[in-house]
Amino acid sequence: MTNTDILIIGAGPAGLTAGLYSARAGAKTIIIENMAAGGQINLTPDIANVPGFLEISGQELGLKMLAQAENAGCEIVYDEITEIDFKNKTIKAYENTIKYKALIIAGGCRPRELGIPREQDFIGGGIHFCGLCDGAFYKGKNIVVVGGGNHAVEEAIYLSDIAKSVTMVVDADKFKAQETLIKQLGKKAKVHFKSSITEITGDTKITGVVLKDKTKIATDGIFVAIGRAPNTELYKGKLDLSKDGYIVVDFQMQTSIQGVFAAGDIIQKRVRQVVTACADGSIAGSTAATYIKLMEN
């Protein structure tokens, strides 16, 4: 078993910033991550709204934040948590058991799926959630992007330089993306507003989709960008959650359990951006470090 002052779940912007602040405050800090440092920003090709950078890729920003947290003294553990015991302040993962004095949950969100028949058969092989990761497989092919927010429009812009054609399927009557992104999109994609995919055609590979108005679109792949769901399965029935499943915190990022804090996209809040995740993380890291000092005195 490993002991630490502060354990942080998730190495996205919130978790890495929390680690930076808690480690610089003198607390032994471990960050546990089940995928890659940087979290969801790894799926964003270009970020232009983070102070200090005119433009930077999500992967590059994630690596810079990771290096900064490690330089401050954070230890990064790559493992997946299987059980959490708030009473005994212990988490169990596949290869590690860690006991903490204070916990910061910054596990972020995961992409929402379409929820249509046969979707699971094609995820990773025809249905994707990251243009930067999988777009190269569709060079010179036809693709569909589902969604009308910032992420969806960014995906369409990026994929338009790779694919033969890009068609967007938007469930609303207009885009919800920022105007600058809509202008960049221009006529790079054909758009079906007030629509959704109801059916996938093809046997072993996707050949097309059918929309709710029965329109048929030939496509080789689908990129889904319809929002995210919080990774809060481990905390249901243990922490106070919103009706949408997000963790409820106060202004100090304190959850319904003393000594357990949360930050970033996993908490209930209005704006989910890199800068707000970092702000949450700075508060959580500072508050957790102060909490430990008060408990020890």
Please name which of 159, 108, 107 lies closest in space to residue 130, comparing C-alpha atoms.
Answer: 159
In this structure, are 246 and 152 located in the same domain? no
> Within this chain, do residues 202 and 289 fall inside the same structural domain, yes or no?
no
In terms of domains, do 98 and 233 share one?
Answer: yes
Residue with tokens 């997946």: 80
The CA distance from 12 to 9, in Å, is 9
Q: Is the pLDDT of residue 297 over 80?
A: no
Question: Which domain-ending residue is among 206, 224, 242?
Answer: 224
Q: Count other Cβ atoms within 10 Å, centred on residue 279.
A: 18
Q: What is the rounded CA–CA span in Å between residue 145 and residue 181? A: 15
44, pLDDT greater than 80:
no
Quick one: 8 and 106 in the same domain? yes
Q: Which two tokens stand for residue 222?
A: 């689908």
Same domain, 122 and 218: yes
Residue 118 has pLDDT above 90, yes or no: yes
Whether 96 and 176 map to the same domain: the answer is no
Tokens representing residue 225 in the block = 């960008």
Q: pLDDT for 183-229, tens place per residue?
A: 999 999 999 999 999 999 999 999 999 999 999 999 999 999 998 89
Q: Where in the sequence numbering do the catalytic residues fall?
A: 130, 133-134
Same domain, 9 and 22: yes
Backbone angles phi, psi at 55, to 5 degrees: -165, 140
CATH of the domain at 204: 3.50.50.60
The structure's pTM equals 0.80
* Residue 70 CB neighbour total at 10 angstroms: 17
Which of 205, 224, 243 represents a domain boundary (last residue)? 224
Q: What is the residue-averaged pLDDT of the chain? A: 95
- Tell me the residue range of the domain where 15 lies: 2-110+228-296
Residues 24, 105, single domain; the answer is yes
The answer to whether residues 18 and 144 belong to one domain is: no
Q: Is the separation of the CB atoms in 149 and 227 below 8 Å?
A: yes
Domain match, 209 and 251 both = no
CB 185 within 8 A of CB 167: no
- Same domain for 118 and 205, yes or no, is yes
Q: How many CA atoms lie within 13 A of 36 on its CB side?
A: 12
Q: Report the number of distinct structural domains present in the chain.
A: 2
Kind and range of the H or E run holding 110: strand 109-111
Domain boundary among 224, 248, 280: 224
Q: Which amino acid is at 145?
A: V
Would you say 191 and 215 are in contact if contact means Cβ atoms under 8 Å apart? no
